[in-house]
A = this chain, B = another copy of it.
Amino acid sequence: MAKVAFLLAPDFEDSEMKNPYDEVKKAGHETVIIGNARGVECAGKKRTVTYVTEIAASEANADELDAIVIPGGSAPEELRVNLDTVQLVKRLNEKSKVIAGICHGPQVMISADILKGKESTSYIGIRDDVINSGAEFLDEEVVVSGNIITSRTPKDEPAFIREILNKLR
């Protein structure tokens, strides 16, 4: 089975964390919640779920991770300005590990500069930023482009989760 990291900060979009996290666990994979720092209590913006980061991005070993999932909401704006966090995503991309982001999640991919030449979708409000980062924007429920998986909104979660689990097989 795979080891899957979830990249989290406060005010993430609740269901975009909870549903992929629950399904990845249910499929039997190992998980770890990574943040800018260790031990940070992160409540979803809708306050329906809370998680605590288990390790800091600076402590993560890219060789031991098979995939990283980046939920949306306001969290990605906090994650993308932390150099260690951005470096971890860059390192995982260099190793062609699975990198999955939904809604505002691709903001972290933009800051890690890993979307050039890829196809990507995102929440429509950051579409122009995805395009400016060098990706071809597709308005689809899920876009798989090499090792990168992206989706638009909570409604796309079933497709997003399906493609993550497909890649972990």
Question: Cα distance A125–B82 when bound, in Å?
Answer: 10
> A-side binding surface: helix, strand, loop or mixed?
helix
Asked whether A129 lies within 8 Å of B127 as measured between CB atoms, the reply is no
Give Cα A110 to B125, complex, Å. Answer: 11
- What is the bound-complex CA distance between A81 and B132, given in angstroms? 15
Q: Is A159 interfacial (CB 8 A cutoff)?
A: no
Q: Could you tell me if A110 and B124 are in contact, using CB atoms closer than 8 angstroms? A: no
Are B129 and A81 in touch, CB under 8 angstroms? no
Residues on the B chain within 8 Å of A110, using CB: 128-129, 132
Query: What's the number of copies of this chain in the assembled complex?
Result: 2
The minimal Cβ–Cβ distance linking A98 to chain B, given in whole angstroms, is 22
Chain B residues, Cβ within 8 Å of A78: 125
Closest chain-B Cβ to A136's Cβ sits at a distance in Å of 15
**C-beta contact mask, A95-128 vs B, less than 8 Å → 1, else 0?**
0000000000001001100000000000111111
| Closest residue of B by beta carbon distance from A81 | B124
Instruction: Please report the C-alpha to C-alpha distance between residue A129 and residue B81 in the assembled complex, in whole angstroms.
Output: 12
Cβ of A152 within 8 Å of any chain B Cβ, yes or no, is no
- Which of A77, A78, A123 has its CB near the most chain B CB atoms (within 10 A)? A77
Q: How far is the CB of A148 from chain B (nearest CB, A)?
A: 17
Q: How far is the CB of A44 from chain B (nearest CB, A)?
A: 16
